[in-house]
């Protein structure tokens, strides 16, 4: 069975990132990944980078839907500040 921790581990083992947050609801995952590696990537490439380590569990049917948000550390700090204001 897939867990938030197993998804976090798949991503952190494959990518050099600062933070991985996962919210799991059955076979649906909302994933937020923070890392400097996203600074020079297009939106599509960012999604592909995070999706790659998850391909096996998606193909197996353990994970049905994935929503991915990516941030650089600077963007993440700004996002957290904005969330606190709203």
Residue pLDDT, tens place only, 10-21: 999 999 999 999
Residue identified by tokens 């600074």 is 39
Residue 16, token pair as written in the block: 């050099």
pLDDT surpassing 80 at residue 86? no
pLDDT surpassing 90 at residue 83? no
d(CA 59, CA 74): 33
Alpha carbons within 13 A on the beta-carbon side of 30: 2
- Give the model's confidence band at 81: pLDDT under 50 very low, under 70 low, under 90 confident, else very high: confident
Question: Mean pLDDT throughout 53-65?
Answer: 93
pTM summary value: 0.93
Question: Mean pLDDT throughout 48-54?
Answer: 97
């Amino acid at each position: 069975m897939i867990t938030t921790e197993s998804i976090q581990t798949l991503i952190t083992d494959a990518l050099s990132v600062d933070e991985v947050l996962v919210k799991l609801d059955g076979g649906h995952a909302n994933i937020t990944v923070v890392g400097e590696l996203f600074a020079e990537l297009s939106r599509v490439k960012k999604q592909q980078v995070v999706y790659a380590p998850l391909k096996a569990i998606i193909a197996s049917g353990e994970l049905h839907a994935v929503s991915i948000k990516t941030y650089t550390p600077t963007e993440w700090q700004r996002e957290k500040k904005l969330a606190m204001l709203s």
